[in-house]
Chains A and B, each alone.
Chain A
Amino acid sequence: MNVFIFYSALFCYLLSALSYLVYLIYNKKTIERTGHYTLLAAFFIHLVSIIFRYLQAGHTPITNMFESLSFFAFCIAGFFLYLKTTYRINSLGCIVLPFISILLIWALVYPTDVKPLSPVLRSYWLPIHTIFSFLGNAIFFVSFLVSILYIIAEREIKKKKSFLFSARFPSLETLDSINYRCMSYGFPFLTVGIITGSIWAGFAWGSYWSWDPKETWSLITWIVYAILIHNRLAIGWRGRKTAYLMIAGFISILFTFLGVNLLIGGLHSYM
């Protein structure tokens, strides 16, 4: 039943991604509306799927790769819906939605069955730490995509040759402003994620900080974003420089999440 709901959500996300890609080509309002409503439907079905899984497992369903990728995609969809209400960024759907769909397809590569929770994860810190961390990561993922678009569009305008990207996507100022918003929302989430993780570690392993690879990489990520925020506010860094640092920050997140889990291992390698 739960997998069926998950597939339904994936189907709606794919439909929405397709609509947004067609919208990018034909620029028709009705196609964009189709994309928007299928995204809303997908988000709702995805929420139901996560609640179902929670009821089935009896704990927050962010404990293995399948659940993590699914929850990560859910957070991205939620944040994108929030951005859509604030900015006119419909064309970004054609970038964000395919990524959400890929994440969900990727999640299906891993076992989808519910397994008993390992003793270390049996804590009320699990939902607090994981939800904050994943929300922060999702926000920074959106900023990563926005930054890539910014760099391409800005280059086009500077080079004065063709206007394929800049004509289709939001203006440079809008992209930069989205980046700033991502920074100001993502950073607190990331910080709370790290702090709660540290408290939980204190309870679980007796030490708040043990320089585990995941902890170290989290700290590196946090420092990258802290530099970014400081430079934005104090020196007025914006535009291309911010975009490059946002990309660097997300690569660091990616390594923290995947590189450490899949390559290095350590205390967090239960996923």
Chain B
Amino acid sequence: MQIVVFGLNHNTAPVEIREKLFLAESQVPQLLNTLRATGIEESAVISTCNRTEIYFCTRQADESLAAVKEILVNSFDIDRQVLEEYTYTLKDESSYKHLFLVASGLDSMVVGEPQILGQVKDAYRTATHNNTTGYLLNKLFHKTFNVAKRVRSETRIGYNPVSISSMAIELSKRIFGELHHRKVLVIGAGEMSEIALRYLKKEGLHEIFIINRTFGNAKKLAEDIAGIPYPFESMSDLLAQVDMVLTSTGAEKPLIDAGLILRIMKKRKNRPLFLVDIAVPRDVDPSVNNIENVYLYDIDDLKDLSQKHLSDRLKESERALEIIDMETANFSSWLRQSEKNPLIAFIIDKAEEVRVKEFKKTSQKLKNADEETLRNIEMLTRAIVKKLIHPHVALIKQDSDREIPEIIKRLFTLEEEDEKDLDNRDEGQ
């Protein structure tokens, strides 16, 4: 069996093509079922705003690949030539190395971004829920999660944030620690404020005040995303209350100067104040940073930091690549071993078949069980099966005597009859 990946990403395709092939979470099961219908034995689909990738295992790579392309052309109304132009196909070692790179954040637009691992995990979960994974993809994805974890823990690839909003949040954590009970003032209701607001909301900040010269815009933004709108005139009062200020207005002269902040700091009894000024021209006079317990970062400071963090990440990515190369070689050798000895694949397949069958039977009986309980039961069955067959697999790997594998094979095939008996007995109970 061959592992193949077919897909496109931000490096190979422009955004309009990526958008065309984007699959919403609800669309993935349908594609997985269509793939199964064409005879592809195992498959999983990763679809994010930057990539759509189909991982599959097949005995006839070329035929399956042609079938995959056909499905995409028909389902997404995309020109075949366009599809060929912007996509890539990777087979065998390069396919699973690619998955390792993707999950570790090395193939991301922002190197080392942590979200992608969660998206890969979601893709695998969807595939397992639709029963389109087997022993090969199961092994591959579990290995992938281990590799990504290793890369995260052994390198500092995702250590420092690189996006402006995430950096602002990270910096404020260094000043205030926990943020959820903190108060934030957003000055301006433009696009930048909107992006920042969404980020702040995601971080769990609830007390967000919004002010804007045009009160209506502040009100609209507050209604659309989150926050409490206030008239622009209340800026000084709000500055005395909040912990963090995010400003992004179109004002030509600074709105906040050192004099204002000095007066405010007296009212605040010197409680720390963190200002993030992402406006150009700047909304906050730079001399404000000289005041004690006041921390000001403007867009250039944040860009410089971002650049530095990015170059740190690129340095770290070299170490990450070494880990991935090592793990790719390990996985290749595991794969070769299981190919060299088809009996191992047979046993694993057989055990998996029994497991899935029994699990389905049980889950049908457990009508009141929620998704988490079922997932736990499934994990339990996997663990039991793995532990049960492990000694046999190990024995086959070690022993050159052909008789033992023959006995083991018989042990596993004979159960056809026994299983029926067992099933009957189960139902009788």
Determine if B289 and A173 form an interchain contact, defined as CB atoms under 8 angstroms apart. no
Q: Does A167 contact B (CB under 8 A)?
A: yes
Determine if B160 and A173 form an interchain contact, defined as CB atoms under 8 angstroms apart. no
With a cutoff of 8 Å between Cβ atoms, the chain B residues found around residue A61 in the complex are none
Q: Mark A21-59, 1 if CB is under 8 A from B, else 0.
A: 000001010000000000000000000000000000000
With a cutoff of 8 Å between Cβ atoms, the chain A residues found around residue B301 in the complex are 160
> Which residues of A from 113 to 167 have beta carbons under 8 Å from B?
153, 157-158, 160, 162-163, 166-167
| Cross-interface CB contact of B270 among A153, A163, A172, A239, cutoff 8 Å | A239
Please report the C-alpha to C-alpha distance between residue A28 and residue B173 in the assembled complex, in whole angstroms.
20
Q: How many A-B contacts at CB < 8 Å in the complex?
A: 51
With a cutoff of 8 Å between Cβ atoms, the chain B residues found around residue A158 in the complex are 289, 295
A238-B176 CB under 8 A given contacts A172-B272, A173-B272 = no
What residue in chain A is nearest B300 (Cβ atoms)? Answer: A160
Please report the C-alpha to C-alpha distance between residue A239 and residue B160 in the assembled complex, in whole angstroms.
25
With a cutoff of 8 Å between Cβ atoms, the chain B residues found around residue A157 in the complex are 171, 174-175, 295
Q: Report the minimum CB–CB distance from B177 to chain A (whole Å).
A: 4
Q: Does A241 contact B (CB under 8 A)?
A: yes
With a cutoff of 8 Å between Cβ atoms, the chain B residues found around residue A240 in the complex are 292-293
Please report the C-alpha to C-alpha distance between residue A26 and residue B159 in the assembled complex, in whole angstroms.
12
With a cutoff of 8 Å between Cβ atoms, the chain B residues found around residue A153 in the complex are 174
With a cutoff of 8 Å between Cβ atoms, the chain A residues found around residue B289 in the complex are 158
Determine if B174 and A166 form an interchain contact, defined as CB atoms under 8 angstroms apart. yes
Q: Mark B46-79, 1 if CB is under 8 A from A, else 0.
A: 0000000000000000000000000000000000
What residue in chain A is nearest B175 (Cβ atoms)? Answer: A172
Determine if A160 and B173 form an interchain contact, defined as CB atoms under 8 angstroms apart. no
Determine if B173 and A171 form an interchain contact, defined as CB atoms under 8 angstroms apart. yes
Please report the C-alpha to C-alpha distance between residue A238 and residue B175 in the assembled complex, in whole angstroms.
13
Q: Report the minimum CB–CB distance from A238 to chain B (whole Å).
A: 5
> Which residues of B from 153 to 205 have beta carbons under 8 Å from A?
153, 159-160, 171, 173-177
Determine if A236 and B175 form an interchain contact, defined as CB atoms under 8 angstroms apart. no
Q: Report the minimum CB–CB distance from A24 to chain B (whole Å).
A: 13
Determine if A171 and B176 form an interchain contact, defined as CB atoms under 8 angstroms apart. yes
Determine if A237 and B270 form an interchain contact, defined as CB atoms under 8 angstroms apart. yes
Q: Does A174 contact B (CB under 8 A)?
A: yes
Determine if A174 and B177 form an interchain contact, defined as CB atoms under 8 angstroms apart. yes
Q: Does B269 contact A (CB under 8 A)?
A: yes
Q: Does A170 contact B (CB under 8 A)?
A: yes
A239-B269 CB under 8 A given contacts A171-B175, A173-B175, A173-B177 = no
Please report the C-alpha to C-alpha distance between residue A238 and residue B270 in the assembled complex, in whole angstroms.
7
With a cutoff of 8 Å between Cβ atoms, the chain A residues found around residue B305 in the complex are 160
A171-B174 CB under 8 A given contacts A26-B153, A160-B304, A239-B270 = yes
With a cutoff of 8 Å between Cβ atoms, the chain A residues found around residue B272 in the complex are 172-173, 239
Please report the C-alpha to C-alpha distance between residue A238 and residue B305 in the assembled complex, in whole angstroms.
27
The listed residue with most B CB atoms (<10 A of its CB), out of A158, A160, A239, A241, is A160
| Cross-interface CB contact of B174 among A162, A163, A236, cutoff 8 Å | A163
Interface size on A, residues (CB 8 A): 21
With a cutoff of 8 Å between Cβ atoms, the chain A residues found around residue B308 in the complex are 162
Please report the C-alpha to C-alpha distance between residue A162 and residue B305 in the assembled complex, in whole angstroms.
8
Determine if A171 and B295 form an interchain contact, defined as CB atoms under 8 angstroms apart. no
Q: Mark B285-314, 1 if CB is under 8 A from A, else 0.
A: 000010011010100010011001000000
What residue in chain A is nearest B290 (Cβ atoms)? Answer: A158
Please report the C-alpha to C-alpha distance between residue A163 and residue B269 in the assembled complex, in whole angstroms.
27
Q: Report the minimum CB–CB distance from B114 to chain A (whole Å).
A: 15
With a cutoff of 8 Å between Cβ atoms, the chain B residues found around residue A26 in the complex are 153
With a cutoff of 8 Å between Cβ atoms, the chain B residues found around residue A162 in the complex are 308
Q: Mark B241-265, 1 if CB is under 8 A from A, else 0.
A: 0000000000000000000000000
Q: Report the minimum CB–CB distance from A88 to chain B (whole Å).
A: 8
Determine if A171 and B177 form an interchain contact, defined as CB atoms under 8 angstroms apart. yes
Please report the C-alpha to C-alpha distance between residue A185 and residue B269 in the assembled complex, in whole angstroms.
22
> Which residues of B from 302 to 361 have beta carbons under 8 Å from A?
304-305, 308
Please report the C-alpha to C-alpha distance between residue A77 and residue B255 in the assembled complex, in whole angstroms.
49
A239-B177 CB under 8 A given contacts A26-B153, A160-B304 = no
Please report the C-alpha to C-alpha distance between residue A83 and residue B271 in the assembled complex, in whole angstroms.
22
Q: Report the minimum CB–CB distance from A155 to chain B (whole Å).
A: 11
Determine if B174 and A167 form an interchain contact, defined as CB atoms under 8 angstroms apart. yes
Determine if B292 and A241 form an interchain contact, defined as CB atoms under 8 angstroms apart. yes
With a cutoff of 8 Å between Cβ atoms, the chain B residues found around residue A241 in the complex are 292
| Cross-interface CB contact of A160 among B268, B269, B292, B297, cutoff 8 Å | B297
With a cutoff of 8 Å between Cβ atoms, the chain B residues found around residue A173 in the complex are 175-177, 272
What residue in chain A is nearest B265 (Cβ atoms)? Answer: A236
Determine if A238 and B295 form an interchain contact, defined as CB atoms under 8 angstroms apart. no
The listed residue with most A CB atoms (<10 A of its CB), out of B160, B293, B308, is B293
Q: Report the minimum CB–CB distance from B2 to chain A (whole Å).
A: 38
Determine if B292 and A239 form an interchain contact, defined as CB atoms under 8 angstroms apart. yes
Q: Mark A174-197, 1 if CB is under 8 A from B, else 0.
A: 100000000000000000000000
With a cutoff of 8 Å between Cβ atoms, the chain B residues found around residue A166 in the complex are 174
Please report the C-alpha to C-alpha distance between residue A258 and residue B304 in the assembled complex, in whole angstroms.
47
With a cutoff of 8 Å between Cβ atoms, the chain B residues found around residue A238 in the complex are 269-271, 293
Q: Report the minimum CB–CB distance from B188 to chain A (whole Å).
A: 22
The listed residue with most A CB atoms (<10 A of its CB), out of B171, B173, B272, B295, is B272
With a cutoff of 8 Å between Cβ atoms, the chain B residues found around residue A163 in the complex are 160, 174
Q: Report the minimum CB–CB distance from B20 to chain A (whole Å).
A: 41
Please report the C-alpha to C-alpha distance between residue A240 and residue B159 in the assembled complex, in whole angstroms.
27
With a cutoff of 8 Å between Cβ atoms, the chain A residues found around residue B292 in the complex are 239-241
> Which residues of A from 216 to 244 have beta carbons under 8 Å from B?
236-241
What residue in chain A is nearest B294 (Cβ atoms)? Answer: A158
Determine if A170 and B293 form an interchain contact, defined as CB atoms under 8 angstroms apart. no
Give residues in B with beta carbon < 8 Å to A.
153, 159-160, 171, 173-177, 268-272, 289, 292-293, 295, 297, 301, 304-305, 308
Other CB < 8 Å A-B pairs besides A167-B160, A174-B177, A236-B268, 11 of them? A162-B308, A163-B160, A163-B174, A167-B174, A171-B176, A172-B175, A236-B270, A238-B269, A238-B270, A238-B271, A240-B292
Closest 4 CB pairs of A and B: A236-B269, A171-B177, A236-B270, A166-B174
A-B contact pairs, 18 of them (CB 8 A): A28-B153, A157-B175, A160-B301, A163-B174, A166-B174, A170-B177, A171-B173, A172-B175, A172-B176, A173-B175, A173-B176, A173-B177, A236-B270, A236-B271, A239-B272, A239-B292, A240-B293, A241-B292
